[in-house]
Structure 1
Amino acid sequence: MLLHLELFLVATALLCVAATPLSKAESRNKLLLISFDGFRWDYDQDVDTPNLDQMALDGVKAKYVTPPMLTMTSPSHFTTITGRWVEDHEVVHNMMYNAKTNLKLSHKRTMTQSVWWDNGVLPLWITAQNQGLKTASFYYPGGGANYSGQSVNRALVETNEHIDDNETEWQYNIDKVMSWFSEEDFDLVTLYYGEPDNVGHAVGPETQERKRIIEQIDRTIGYLRESIARHHLTDTLNVIITSDHGMTTVKKRPQVDEIILNKYLDLLRLASFEILDYGGFGILTPRPGKEAEVFDALSRAPNLTVYRTAQMPESFHLARSKRLPPIVVVADLGFNLNSRLIVYVNKGDHGYHSGEMDMKTIFRAIGPDFKTNFLSEPFDSIHVYPLMCELLNIKPEAHNGSLSVTQELLLRPRGGSQRVGLSVSLLLSTILFTFTLF
């Protein structure tokens, strides 16, 4: 009789243990994703960044993150928000273009062009909304488009004239987003800042101006955490801070580093479409019957690698793209591509191979669902999407990432409580079976 009582008490205790995680799994915290464009992985190592340092202590930090192999703003941001490689989501450039009509639109002018973004892959905002959540995009690339006729609940889009480095406005934007969470009960907000990308382009990454903008970003992180506390969101808001790509110095020595492709092939005669004056990544449509001649000529040009799009390495995840032209050119790190004249004046740039350390970027996260003082090994940005779905407790769309890569950042993965419940049920069944033997 005593043994029966002991078994009953053990079974009751196990049921109580199982109930608590399951109830927590049904809860959902809010999520803020912040992107600082062009924040290279090591930008905090030569600048005093007390707030970023404290965030790493209070949350998690990755050694670095590898962007997709197209280290540009729009393609990389859309990989983060969809969990898909560029060849799947087909946002293949910062510029919207049509190789048949020679249409070209600048980066900011693409932000409301749904035809450029809506290629059959649903971003996280729409997936979350379809599962009952309320979402918003604050300047985040792709947030101003429609997807299968659906728009983000609230979307603000940058204008062409928008100034990216106004610290007062940065703080205002944070307070606005906090009010969306605290007063309007938004579940997911994505917030984008155009720095330190602009400074990196204008003066280069190894400059005092870049260091000053990192100090400004750090102050903004401090302001963010104060604003979270003021709006009583500390216990209910997870925050992820990341970026789209890094930045490298462009060495301005015309005889060595500036690549002028028209020296190696007659572009007017051989090409019907091109975007070649855009940093380290170029695309080209040869005229009919001229593809082999174009490929061979570019193969002789120094400081670059030329690819037939359909034959690019599998690791690029670009070969299946239907939107990319037949020829892709990738410059060596630090070299600019120019078509006919040297018109590109940036001192720093990106668009280079994602394996280059200068193209790696940052990851920080803090909030009720994240561990504290945890340093993660590097991972690809493709894996941020399933992590965000896990945090929001929603079912993801088909994606190329894996939660197994990032779940170690979490205190307790959402699915973990269900597995605990199953294990406890199995153990309880075993005990009850044993009980019947007596």
Structure 2
Amino acid sequence: MSVQYPRLVLATVIGLAILLSACQTASDSREGQAPAPLLLISIDGFRHDYIEQFDSPTVDRLIEEGLYADSLHHAFPTKTFATHYTLVTGRHPGTHGVVANNIWDPRRKSRFSLGDREAVNDGFWYSGGEPIWVTAEQQGLTAATYFWPGSEAIIDRTRPTHFKPYDGRVPHEERIDQIVDWLALPDAERPDFLTLYFSSVDSRGHGSGPAAPATLAAAEEIDTQLGRLLEELEAMDMLGKINILLVSDHGMSEVSPERTIALDEYIDLSKVHVSDWGPAAQIWAGEMEPAEIVAALADAPHLRAWQREDIPDRYHFDSHYRVPDVLVEADPGWLISSKPYMANPNPPRGMHGWDPALAEMHGIFIARGPGFVPGARSPAMRSIDVYALMTHLLDLDPADHEGRLQTFLPYLESDRAPAYQVARFECEAGAVEARIGPAHMSLHFGEHIFVLDRVEDAVDRFEATDLSFEIDDQRASGRVDGTELGECVRADAGRIRRPGTDQTPSH
């Protein structure tokens, strides 16, 4: 006796069978072609030159066995939430909208600050960019975040499968143990993307000053913990199967009360709204027009003020509506404050937030794992490009971003370390050092380190926003922030070798 199913029921059964079959096929495909897990580690406030100032066997090992960039050039402003969100979205703060640690939203008429847990957990503030954990989760991978700005919020209806609400009191050992436990899960459950975050170096840098003994002691303790992580991964036979990116979100500069500018000596603060202070102040017009504010600050020492439309193009800080009406930036080592706050009995001894090209604002970038050429060295790299790298390593389709994968490709698609060349020039505007890799270069000029891209189909021409540098054998020319360097003459012996012709790094 045959059973006659209604057509609708039969169609439903067939549809479910097809769907289950497709899911099983996708699952089988992923199990067979799953990318190597990726662990992104941030040491907040770890300036690029700290590595040379304390005993760091674990960091040294990562450098020896992986890719080491001279430094990491961040986005403006060099503040923790802004730069961390740039790292995971590939968008500038002026695009993704996390424009500082303290933010004013003029449309919502609301304020974001680090101490406001409700705001920190509200996905509204992060909607201007898609973080890598959202990209991963929406394309079938699993993410696990042990602290990262934005990772506690629901962004585009998505959270990491595993996440930890931020608590700076959690011991470093506990954080390491959780990462190990996640990676020890069965293959089908193990996260594909993970984050790990440490804040102690930043805290010590603020309280004791950059490179102070207490700051370097904090860095040494984290190095020890990372050493334990590598040991655990080796014991699990995982170390050779996971890609690890070690970064920091900014550097640190020394400050003092004697190098502080009281904003209320020049403008009536009751007539404006200042949403963020420090090395850069973000000012919203109230009873004063933006042009009035800029004019009132014209004679103030040790700072520069711009209306929104005049902010230097190199900062990429103009497109999001949370960018303020007026941006004021102090000279390196100087802070913008107010008279009441300057009475603080415990002022900071270290700070960050200035021009990201300043060498002291540069962080670190080290990468180790099956995706990288071991023993490779690179000129300074940009944090804006890290999202593109991570999506490439995880075989994901990236969301809209402003980064450039080409910078990293020579260190991924080679069986030996790519060329690294250093050339020094005396220019009319001052001494310049060019550190050159296959697809980009870093230009060291005064207190600044700029990153420029190699121009396609050009031999030794490099460009970035408001920056250019071209080498013609023993001579060079260039432009920094629209100012010509003048004639540049090679100041050291040797010639620039073309990419791929010299595999020995020059230090």
Q: Sort the TM-score into its range (normalised by shorter chain).
A: 0.7 to 0.9
Matched, 1:155 2:154: no
- What amino acid is the match of 2:367? A
CA distance in 2 between counterparts of 1:287 and 1:27 reads 54
Conserved? CA contact 1:30–1:186, under 8 Å: yes
For residue 482 of structure 2, what is the aligned residue in structure 1? none
CA distance in 2 between counterparts of 1:58 and 1:106 reads 36
Conserved? CA contact 1:96–1:116, under 8 Å: no
What's the CA shift for 1:200? 0.4
For residue 421 of structure 1, what is the aligned residue in structure 2? none
Stretches of structure 1 lacking an aligned partner (at least 5 in a row):
1-24, 414-438
Conserved? CA contact 1:265–1:298, under 8 Å: yes
What's the CA shift for 1:288? 4.4
For residue 116 of structure 1, what is the aligned residue in structure 2? 125
Conserved? CA contact 1:39–1:246, under 8 Å: yes
Conserved? CA contact 2:102–2:111, under 8 Å: no
What's the CA shift for 1:126? 0.9
Change (3 A) 1:104 1:388: closer
For residue 307 of structure 2, what is the aligned residue in structure 1? 308
Conserved? CA contact 1:205–1:248, under 8 Å: yes
User: 1:185 aligns to what SS in structure 2?
Assistant: coil
Please identify, of 363-372 and 349-358, the stretch whose mean Cα deviation from structure 2 is larger: 363-372
For residue 396 of structure 2, what is the aligned residue in structure 1? 394
For residue 48 of structure 1, what is the aligned residue in structure 2? 55
Matched, 1:241 2:246: yes
Matched, 1:57 2:56: no
Could you give the per-residue CA deviations for residues 246-270 of structure 1, whole angstroms, max 9, x where no partner exists?
00000332xxx110011112222x3
Conserved? CA contact 2:48–2:364, under 8 Å: yes
For residue 371 of structure 2, what is the aligned residue in structure 1? 369
Conserved? CA contact 1:250–1:335, under 8 Å: yes
Please give the TM-score of this superposition, normalised by the length of structure 1: 0.82
The runs of at least 4 consecutive aligned structure 1 residues that moved more than 6 Å come to none
CA distance in 1 between counterparts of 2:181 and 2:380 reads 33
- What amino acid is the match of 1:79? T
CA distance in 2 between counterparts of 1:61 and 1:41 reads 11
- What amino acid is the match of 1:116? W
User: 1:63 aligns to what SS in structure 2?
Assistant: strand
Change (3 A) 1:90 1:219: same
Matched, 1:75 2:82: yes
Conserved? CA contact 1:114–1:145, under 8 Å: yes
Aligned length: 377
Could you give the per-residue CA deviations for residues 373-404 of structure 1, whole angstroms, max 9, x where no partner exists?
11111111111111111111111112111111
- What amino acid is the match of 1:318? F
What's the CA shift for 1:96? 4.1
User: 1:196 aligns to what SS in structure 2?
Assistant: helix
Could you give the per-residue CA deviations for residues 140-197 of structure 1, whole angstroms, max 9, x where no partner exists?
11101111222221211214xx33xx7xx21221121122122131100111111210
User: 1:94 aligns to what SS in structure 2?
Assistant: coil
Change (3 A) 1:343 1:103: farther
User: 1:221 aligns to what SS in structure 2?
Assistant: helix
For residue 228 of structure 2, what is the aligned residue in structure 1? 223
State how 1:287-436 maps to structure 2 within 5 Å.
287-288=286-287, 290-341=289-340, 342-343=342-343, 345-411=347-413
CA distance in 1 between counterparts of 2:177 and 2:367 reads 19
Conserved? CA contact 2:114–2:120, under 8 Å: no
For residue 275 of structure 2, what is the aligned residue in structure 1? 275
Change (3 A) 1:295 1:107: same
- What amino acid is the match of 2:124? V
For residue 423 of structure 1, what is the aligned residue in structure 2? none
Conserved? CA contact 2:303–2:329, under 8 Å: yes
Change (3 A) 1:102 1:83: closer
What's the CA shift for 1:412? 5.3
Please identify, of 237-246 and 98-107, the stretch whose mean Cα deviation from structure 2 is larger: 98-107
Please identify, of 149-158 and 95-104, the stretch whose mean Cα deviation from structure 2 is larger: 95-104
- What amino acid is the match of 1:138? Y
Q: Choose from 135, 138, 146 the match for 1:130.
A: 138
CA distance in 2 between counterparts of 1:327 and 1:279 reads 14
- What amino acid is the match of 2:99? V
- What amino acid is the match of 2:200? E
**Aligned residues: CA RMSD:** 2.0
What's the CA shift for 1:46? 1.3
Matched, 1:90 2:92: no
**Higher helix content, 1 or 2:** 1
Change (3 A) 1:252 1:391: same
For residue 435 of structure 2, what is the aligned residue in structure 1? none
CA distance in 1 between counterparts of 2:184 and 2:298 reads 57
Stretches of structure 2 lacking an aligned partner (at least 5 in a row):
1-31, 416-507
Conserved? CA contact 1:99–1:285, under 8 Å: no
Conserved? CA contact 2:75–2:383, under 8 Å: yes
Change (3 A) 1:28 1:104: closer
What's the CA shift for 1:111? 2.6
User: 2:203 aligns to what SS in structure 1?
Assistant: helix
Could you give the per-residue CA deviations for residues 83-118 of structure 1, whole angstroms, max 9, x where no partner exists?
111122111111243457464533563431222112
